[in-house]
């Protein structure tokens, strides 16, 4: 099943929002092994929150909505609450 996830780099206190069709552990490993260009300079990453969706297109839509917000306070609230509430 597809997921939307939020990672945190404690090195620079930055968040990364992504989606995947793969297992979350495998995708997190990609980020931490430097196989993702946009995140390799800020590793290590920690999975903070994730949510499973019925389809990859739905997960991708939520990922893009979250990225368009560009509000760290909103992302931190999602992490604190432990739940992605967009649909």
Instruction: Convert the pLDDT of each residue in 14-60 to its tens digit.
Output: 999 999 999 999 999 999 999 999 999 999 999 999 999 999 999 99
Angle in degrees, CA 4, 44, 78, rounded to 5: 35
What pTM was estimated for this model as a whole?
0.93
Q: How many domains does the chain have?
A: 1
Contact call for residues 84 and 17 (beta carbons, < 8 A):
no
**Inside any domain, residue 17:** yes
**Inside any domain, residue 86:** no
The boundaries of the domain holding residue 77 are 3-81
DSSP 35-80: -STTTGGG--EEEEEEEE-SSHHHHHHHHHHHHHH--HHHHHHHHH
Confidence of residue 87 (pLDDT cuts 50, 70, 90): low
CB-side neighbour CA atoms (13 Å) of 34: 1
**Inside any domain, residue 87:** no
CATH number of the domain where residue 68 is located = 3.40.1440
**Inside any domain, residue 48:** yes
* CB count in 10 Å sphere of residue 62: 20
């Amino acid at each position: 099943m597809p997921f939307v996830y939020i990672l945190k780099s404690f090195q620079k206190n930055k968040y990364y929002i992504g989606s995947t069709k793969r297992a979350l552990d495998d995708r997190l490993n990609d980020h931490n092994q430097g196989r993702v260009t946009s995140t390799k300079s800020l590793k290590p990453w920690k999975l903070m929150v994730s949510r499973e969706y019925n389809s990859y297109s739905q997960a991708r839509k939520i990922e893009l909505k979250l990225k368009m917000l560009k509000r760290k306070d909103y992302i931190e609230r999602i992490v604190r609450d432990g739940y992605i509430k967009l649909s």
